[in-house]
Amino acid sequence: MPKRRLDRTQIAKAFGVALVQARTAAGMTQEQLADSARLHRTTVGLLERGIKCPTLDTVFHLAHAMGSDPVELVSEAAGRIKKS
């Protein structure tokens, strides 16, 4: 039986939770993260609330801005999807 396709909303919400956790661990505000990643603060807010799904380059910019590895950020989000 084929695996079910992941819903875009599930992915966005899981990434949002992972992003909040990573940003908080990095000791950054949304504004600081946005400035460092060269994104608008509202974009970071939309990503964190799971309203917007990030592009691959956005994942890299966010991770770099927090001094982390993009693989860790995506892995954390993937783990959250598996739990749900």
Q: What is the pLDDT of residues 54-77, one digit of tens each?
A: 999 999 999 999 999 999 999 999
Contact indicator for 58, 70 with CB cutoff of 8 Å = no
**DSSP reduced 3-state for 64:** helix
Q: What is the residue-averaged pLDDT of the chain?
A: 94
Given a cut of 70, the residues of the chain with pLDDT beneath it are 1-2, 84
CA 13 to each of CA 18, 34, 79: distance values in angstroms, whole numbers, following the listed order: 9, 19, 12
Residue spans of the domains in the chain: they are 8-83
Report the CATH fold assignment for 8-83: 434 Repressor (Amino-terminal Domain) (1.10.260)
Residue 2 pLDDT: 56
